[in-house]
Structure 1
């Protein structure tokens, strides 16, 4: 009798953690075949993409190779992109894999499943704003982060010789005052100091202008007002120009046009405002909301099919009567943990557990030495407010917790040691 096949589509924080847990509990014992499908060959923790975009994070050292990881954690990795679903036959359709020149490496394929988990994360939502796709960088994937870093380095290189400057300042516009926009703005100013120190540019941080633009009345609207105010004060002290209650009606080459008609001249634009699930999810025949998120029950099963699950940013999971689970990394980790138990329960003919989101607090990084946030939140408490060095250490520990979930304690400990050594052996940022 063939063992059941569990297919996980998406190797982000939640998908990789789920594949690792199922590999240890089911794959190792040959109770199920666990397959992880992702279009990329490697994994980078998404909350660190802003560091990858500025060169602070070296992806060749921090990325996880799916093939190597799968061989030691008892699941199977397949490279590919989902582009269709046949629920009656329990088959997903995979797009062909092409080279950069458009040559076919692997043809279109089909992959059978007994249980399907959609963990495809989210992408930035440009809300149909004119010119954004053509003139703004997005930082939703390692490829996009690296593309921004290349463009950033080239832009700074134009200012290597002060005599060749065409502008008095290098200006970067960031649309979206959520965690990504806030963290990127701080990292950019820190990166400008390093680029000046390494001789990449003649500009110093005082001649770099960063505009952070948010449509809501304050930064970080999903977090507490105290965190928002503290973060804005820190950004003001760094020299970031913060614009709240400001929408963007059009993006053009080298400038952004606000809803009031104001023009902000820029050398680089980044769009980090709002999120949505990948658009093709709404075309799979499953019930989705207006953000393309698959609607699921509290057991994380699709409302249309009990053999299909969705988790993380691509799922709309009820939380209370009128709200849903927020699209945050800690929610994806919690759902991965519960879903691993539920899939084991299915094979053991036990009832499924309903998901309850627990907000453990939020931390926002402000470059290498600072962070702001709160921890140990609950329904009855706003938690412990943190800022400064201690908050930064807590923020760094979140990545170590992610590494623990996918590597285990011994390898995570060794990785921590290697990272400490590389602080002395390697440049403080990737310069190519």
Structure 2
């Protein structure tokens, strides 16, 4: 074996916000100094920050301007990128197993492969949980990935073009969108769609009256929208959505999805040609009890306070796919971007300690800095935790919007550095003046 192959090999599976930040930081420290080999594995070629997917789906953001090529990032930051989808694990030989990679026509591009590891970190995120509701898988769209968000936008754009050119009157539900689940994704998508459908209609779709023809419905099983966030924040967002004439249905549990719309437990039928399912999450199915590791009912890997899996000290997990105890609370760390960012920062220290041969590993203590909900150009609201003697401070308007946008900038800084983000931001500010504010194809 070469000297490089004798180095401690760290494999990170999943190039989401946390996984890519971790690979970048470890590459810049251990990889650059040839103290360890760092490999990132992901099933796609490019990275897009997941909290932006609702903007891509609505068309208010062009994904081509926000994609990051994994191969380029690996080249710049001294780690290796391998394209593939993990579908197996051999703990005895310490090997990650990747499924064959197929092209769009189903042809095999890369054969099944295995990679040996010394430290394995799983950060594969989460997928939509349809809870087995009849018709949900067949007739609704999820927004878990970049490609799914783009697919929804194509459907939306085609629906508008069809309505513009057809001779017959609009059918019930033809330009109606039903969003199942009023968490942050559902709420933010509803507001973005209100804006972008009107922007699209203004670009020559003169037969469409967006206020009359386009209807957006938000369906939530709980008694209020944003049930995981503070009540005051929930009510403030509810008021803003109703001002936008979004139909908000709370206390309505979806029992069936069909090609014509959705039905709830109360017997209510909501017509909709497009249905988005954003009602719950689970870890990918392949993780369920993978090679004997402990998982919970939604397939999350159960980890301890060091983010180590409970049955293998060489395997770590973080982000949405991990169930980590939240100290001082009778629950696990919530699946949020801020949690993945904090966990990635801890794992940088953890991996360095393992490479150095240290027995003591740092513990993870999650700090909740609050929640922000962006309603596009209409409003941004949120709460900052710990602002007043351990309490919270409610914020709204411009300050909240700046705080929301700064979260993405912090992610970019972790990947590219401060100077690169400043230059990029100035360039976007200039070019934005010469571009349409909505994606037109």
Cα distance between partner residues in 2 of 1:395 and 1:78: 32
Q: Which segments of 5 or more consecutive residues in structure 2 lack a partner in the other structure?
A: none
Q: Distance in 1 between matches of 2:398 and 2:156?
A: 28
**SS in structure 1 of the partner of residue 216 of structure 2:** strand
Partner of 2:316: 309
2:40 is paired with a residue whose SS is strand
Q: Does 1:160 align with 2:164?
A: yes
Counterpart of 1:406 in structure 2 is 415
Deviation at 1:333, TM superposition (A): 0.2
Q: How far apart in 2 are the matches of 1:382 and 1:200? A: 49
Q: Is 2:20 the counterpart of 1:16?
A: yes
| Aligned counterparts of 1:33 and 1:368: Cα–Cα separation in 2 | 44
Do the aligned partners of 1:15 and 1:119 also contact (CA within 8 Å) in 2?
yes
- SS of 1:189's equivalent in the other structure is helix
User: Structure 1: how far apart are the matches of 2:267 and 2:64?
Assistant: 43
CA distance in 2 between partners of 1:10 and 1:314 (Å):
10
Aligned-pair CA distance for 1:397: 1.0
SS of residue in 2 equivalent to 1:367: coil
Q: Are positions 1:298 and 2:305 aligned together? A: yes
Counterpart in 2 of 1:5?
9
Shift of 1:95: 0.5
Runs of 4+ in structure 1 off by over 6 angstroms are: none
Structure 1: gaps spanning 5 or more residues: none
Deviates more, 1:316-325 or 1:153-162: 153-162
In the alignment, does 2:226 pair up with 1:217? no
Aligned match for 1:83, one of 80, 87, 92: 87
Q: Report if aligned partners of 1:301, 1:307 keep a CA contact under 8 Å in 2.
A: yes
Other-structure match for 1:239: 245
- Which residue in the other structure is 1:174 paired with? 179
| Residue 390 in structure 1 maps to residue 395 in structure 2 | no
Tell me the distance in 2 between the aligned counterparts of 1:344 and 1:59: 34
Q: Which residue matches 1:64?
A: 68
| Distance (whole Å) between structure 1 residues aligned to residue 322 and residue 89 of structure 2 | 17
Matched, 1:330 2:334: no
TM-score, scaled to structure 1: 0.97
The equivalent of 2:50 in structure 1 is 46
Where does residue 358 of structure 1 map in the other structure?
A: 367
**Is the Cα–Cα contact under 8 Å of residues 369 and 392 in structure 1 kept in the other structure?**
no
Cα offsets for 1:361-391 (capped at 9, x unmatched): 1100101342110124379533221112221
What is the CA distance between 1:415 and its match in structure 2?
Answer: 1.4
Kept in 2, the 8 Å contact 1:22–1:34? The answer is yes
Aligned to 1:149: 153
Where does residue 266 of structure 1 map in the other structure? 272
Provide Cα deviations, 1:375-413, integer angstroms capped at 9, x if missing partner.
Answer: 243795332211122211211111101100111111111
Asked if structure 2 preserves the Cα contact closer than 8 Å seen for 1:51 and 1:57, the reply is yes
Shift of 1:167: 3.2
Distance in 1 between residues matched to 2:205 and 2:84, nearest whole Å: 38
- Once the two structures are superposed, residues 107-150 of structure 1 have per-residue CA deviations (whole angstroms, 9 ceiling, x without a partner) of 10111111000000001110010000000010000010011000
Partners of 2:171 and 2:95 lie apart in 1 by 56
Q: Indicate the residue corresponding to 2:255 in structure 1.
A: 249
- TM-score of the pair, normalised by structure 2: 0.95
CA distance in structure 1 between the aligned counterparts of 2:253 and 2:77, rounded to whole angstroms: 46
Spell out, residue by residue over 1:15-65, the C-alpha distance to the aligned partner (whole angstroms, 9 max, x if none). Answer: 000001101110000000000000000000000000010111111110110
SS at match of 2:345: helix
User: Over aligned residues, Cα RMSD in angstroms?
Assistant: 1.5
> What's the CA shift for 1:201?
5.9
Tell me how far apart the structure 1 counterparts of residues 274 and 103 of structure 2 sit (CA, whole Å).
Answer: 28
What is the number of equivalent residue pairs in this alignment? 432
Equivalent residue, structure 2, for 1:344: 352
Q: CA separation in 1, counterparts of 2:319 and 2:382?
A: 22
In 2, the alpha carbon distance for the partners of 1:54 and 1:236 equals 19
Q: Is the 8 A contact 1:56 1:429 kept in 2?
A: yes
Greater shift in the superposed pair: 362-371 or 322-331:
362-371
Partner of 1:416: 425
Residues of 2 paired with 1:154 and 1:413: CA distance?
37
Tell me how far apart the structure 2 counterparts of residues 154 and 366 of structure 1 sit (CA, whole Å).
24
For the 8 Å contact 1:282–1:288, the answer to whether it is kept is yes
1:228 aligned residue: 234
Matched residue SS, 2:178: strand
> Residue 94 of structure 1 contacts residue 109 of structure 1 at CA under 8 Å; is this kept in 2?
yes
